[in-house]
Amino acid sequence: MYITLQELADYLGVSEKYLFEKIQNGQVQAVFDGKQYLLNKKQFIWHKEQLDLKRKQVLAELEEIPEDWDAKDED
């Protein structure tokens, strides 16, 4: 199934500019239909899973950081 650049950016949670740069650099395959770029969504399913996993790991690490007791102003 082909989707637009905007739809893929929304799906992956990245910017259109980021994806457009990847297309221009040849890192992402896309078809230009004369008006817009179309991309095969199937090739990004694994990538999305990896992004979601990394986001969960970062959020979990942020929750583990304890509040610094010395950071409070005691004046």
Q: What is the pLDDT of residues 2-60, one digit of tens each?
A: 999 999 999 888 899 999 999 999 999 999 999 999 999 888 888 888 888 998 999 88
Dihedrals phi, psi of 26, to nearest 5 degrees: 80, 10
Residues 33 and 3: beta-carbon distance below 8 Å: no
In a domain, 48, yes or no: yes
Q: Please give the residue range of the domain that contains residue 48.
A: 2-65
Is 9 domain-assigned?
yes
The structural domain count of the chain equals 1
Distance between CA atoms of residues 61 and 38, nearest Å:
36
16 inside domain: yes
Domain assignment of residue 7, yes or no? yes
